[in-house]
Structure 1
Amino acid sequence: MMKKVMYLLILLLVVVSGLVFANREIKSEPSKKPAPKPPTAAEMNAGLKQWEATPEGIKFKKWEAAPEGKKVLDGAAKIRRQINAVTNMEAVVTALSLPPGSRLGFGVMVRIDGDDYILSFGLETANEFQQLRSLKVNDKLIIRSHSVSYAPKYAYPIVQGDYVERDRKIMYKRAPRKGGC
């Protein structure tokens, strides 16, 4: 009787192990779906032309041609080289709040090379901007960013704040993204 129970347990263990191993093999096989191909330049241009024909696209093109839009685009172009190289830029705080109606999260207004910019940090989680709240108007900062953007809603280019230093002390440094580059 004891031998039969042992054989039964061993047989059960072999069957369960085989099922687990077979299930692992199935899951580890690469996906049969081909990865989506990035759009070609022609497809991107066609999509852009299609968007430009929409009411939002028409409104954006009018804004780009208007003096306000040209001023914002010129300001963004002025710092594009430093943004692309992620190098230090000297900035002076001009206002501690963003323009009325802004939906960019926490940020301040700064002047870089004589032009005004929105220095945006995004939505706050767990008091990560606590040190930045101690900023005062006319504080001199060293900032680094990886992007500058613009929108017809805002009269200033929007600089994404990645690194802020005041008096050689780091006040803010964006944490690297998880699971990405």
Structure 2
Amino acid sequence: MTDLDQLTQSLARNLKRWRAERGFTLDALAARAGVSRGMIIQIEQARTNPSVGTTVKIADALGVSITTLLDYEQGPQVRLVPESQAVRMWSTEAGSFTKLLVGSEAPGPFELWAWRLMPGDSSASDPHQPGTVELIHVSAGELTLVVDGEEHRVTAGASATFEAKVAHAYRNDGAETVEMTMAVIIPPVR
């Protein structure tokens, strides 16, 4: 089974579980997530691998992290994630990518990401639920962080944080590869 097959199966299994635990019908989850009912059915039947944006919308609607949708195993208090088990969620032919390193559900969903943006590449994100906070640390290159249409330059060694309830994007306008780490804190579902 390929990595993509494992990801698709994990999403299907965990989406069904979390939707049932929340008591959401297909229509209710579709409305909360802004995703079609048909897309949710296809994901639950492991017939499609949704985009990162769709996965984030569904995770937000369920009040869980992407990590939880990918793997629901509850282990010991210390959970080690080998590099081989980090999940690559987005990539481009130029070599840019995002990699979900680790996540947690206590006290609410919390995720840690590794990013690489090649020169000229960018990634846009829809707004997340209110209260979602992103923290970014750039270790190489210069990131152009766009939050609600306003550009911010984040140079190597610098960090930034913002409430991600508005549209935002990450861009590499420079000639050097951008390497960064991002933490996402998601408020629990009320």
Fold in common (TM above 0.5)? no
TM range (shorter): under 0.3
TM-score normalised according to structure 2 size: 0.22
* Structure in which a larger fraction of residues adopt helix: 1
Q: Quick check: which has more Rg, 1 or 2? A: 1
* Structure in which a larger fraction of residues adopt strand: 2
